[in-house]
A and B are shown apart, each in its own frame.
Chain A
Amino acid sequence: MNCEESKMLLADYWAQTLSETKELEFDAHIATCDLCRTDAERLGALWTSLSKIPAEEPSPALRTRFYDTLAAYRHGLEAAPRASWKERILALWPRQPAFQMGLSFALLAIGVGIGYTARPGVKPVEPETQEVAALRGEVTNMRQMVALSLLQQQSASERLRGVSYAVQVPSSDTEVLSALLKTVNQDANVNVRLQAVDALHQFGASPVTRTAVAQSIGKQDTPLVQIALIDLLVDLKDKDSAPELMKVSSDEKIDAAVRQHAKWALGKLQ
Chain B
Amino acid sequence: MAQVGSGDVAKMAVLFERHNRGLFRYFVSLNRNRELSEDLVQDVFFRMLRYRASYDPNQSFTAWMYQIARNANVDQAQKRRAEVVGIDEFDDRRPEPASDAPGPEETVAKGQDVALLKRALDRLPSDKKELLVLARFQDMKYEEIASLLGCEVGTVKVRVFRAMRALEEIYHTLSKERTA
Q: Is the CB of B10 within 8 A of A149?
A: yes
Tell me the nearest residue of chain A to B112, going by C-beta.
A49
Contact code string B1-32 (vs A, CB < 8 Å = 1, else 0): 10110100111111011101100110010000
Q: Is the CB of B136 within 8 A of A8?
A: no
Q: Is the CB of A158 within 8 A of B112?
A: no
Could you say which residues of chain A place their CB within 8 Å of the CB of B136? 47, 50-51
Could you say which of A9, A12, A58, A65 has the most chain B C-beta atoms within 10 Å of its C-beta?
A58
Q: Which of A12, A47, A70, A108 contacts B13 (CB 8 A)?
A: A70
Q: Is the CB of B49 within 8 A of A62?
A: no
B45 interface residue (CB < 8 Å to A): yes
Given A43-B165, A74-B4, A142-B9: A50 in contact with B132 (beta carbons within 8 A): yes
How close is B92's CB to chain A, nearest CB, in angstroms? 19
CA–CA, A50 to B156, complex, Å?
18
Contact segment of B36-44, B57-65, B66-74: B36-44
A55 interface residue (CB < 8 Å to B): yes
For window 7-34 of A, CB contacts with B under 8 Å fall at 7-12, 14-15, 17
Given A17-B142, A55-B25: A70 in contact with B41 (beta carbons within 8 A): no
Chain A interfacial residues counted at CB < 8 A: 52
Q: Which of B110, B117, B157 contacts A8 (CB 8 A)?
A: B157
For window 36-60 of A, CB contacts with B under 8 Å fall at 39, 42-43, 45-47, 49-59
Could you say which residues of chain B place their CB within 8 Å of the CB of A254? none
How close is B22's CB to chain A, nearest CB, in angstroms? 9
Given A11-B160, A142-B9: A66 in contact with B110 (beta carbons within 8 A): no
Q: Is the CB of B4 within 8 A of A145?
A: no
Q: Is the CB of A57 within 8 A of B21?
A: yes
A77 interface residue (CB < 8 Å to B): yes
CA–CA, A54 to B25, complex, Å?
10
Q: Is the CB of A55 within 8 A of B137?
A: yes
Q: Is the CB of A158 within 8 A of B17?
A: yes
* Size range of the chain B interface in the assembly: 35 or more
CA–CA, A78 to B6, complex, Å?
10
CA–CA, A70 to B108, complex, Å?
42
Given A11-B142, A58-B41, A65-B42: A70 in contact with B12 (beta carbons within 8 A): yes
Q: Is the CB of A46 within 8 A of B168?
A: yes
Q: Is the CB of B168 within 8 A of A42?
A: yes
B50 interface residue (CB < 8 Å to A): yes
How close is A207's CB to chain B, nearest CB, in angstroms? 29
For window 134-172 of B, CB contacts with A under 8 Å fall at 135-137, 141-142, 154, 156-158, 160-161, 164-165, 167-168, 171
A122 interface residue (CB < 8 Å to B): no
Given A73-B46, A158-B17: A58 in contact with B38 (beta carbons within 8 A): yes
Q: Which residue numbers of A lie inside 8 Å of B, CB to CB?
A: 7-12, 14-15, 17, 39, 42-43, 45-47, 49-59, 61-63, 65-67, 69-70, 73-74, 77-78, 100-101, 104, 108, 142, 145-146, 148-150, 153, 155, 158, 161
Known: A9-B157, A58-B20, A145-B10. 10 other contacts (CB 8 A): A11-B158, A39-B161, A46-B167, A57-B24, A74-B9, A77-B3, A78-B3, A78-B4, A104-B1, A145-B13
